[in-house]
A = this chain, B = another copy of it.
Amino acid sequence: MESKRTSPIGRPRGFDADEALERAVRVFWAQGYEGASLDDLTGAMGITRTSMYRAFGNKEELFRQALQRYTEGPASYVARALGQPTAREVATTFLAGAIRSTTQPDCPAGCLGVQGSLAAGESGRRARDLLAAWREGGTAYLRERFQRAVDEGDLPVGADPGLLARYLMTVANGIAVQAAGGTAADELQLVADMALQTWPPARS
Contacts and interface: CB of A to CB of B under 8 A. Distances in A.
A158 to B, nearest CB: 13
Given A170-B175, A191-B166, A181 B119 contact: no
Interface in A143-187: 160, 163, 166-167, 169-178, 180-183, 187
A97 interface: no
A118 B194 CA distance: 25
Contacts of A190: 160, 163, 166
Given A136-B181, A181-B132, A120 B31 contact: yes
Interface stretch (A61-69, A72-80, A84-92, A109-117): A109-117
A3 interface: no
Contact of A119 (B37, B136, B180): B180
Interface residues of A, number: 49
A120 to B, nearest CB: 4
10 contacts: A36-B121, A37-B121, A115-B118, A135-B181, A163-B190, A170-B174, A170-B178, A170-B191, A170-B195, A174-B177
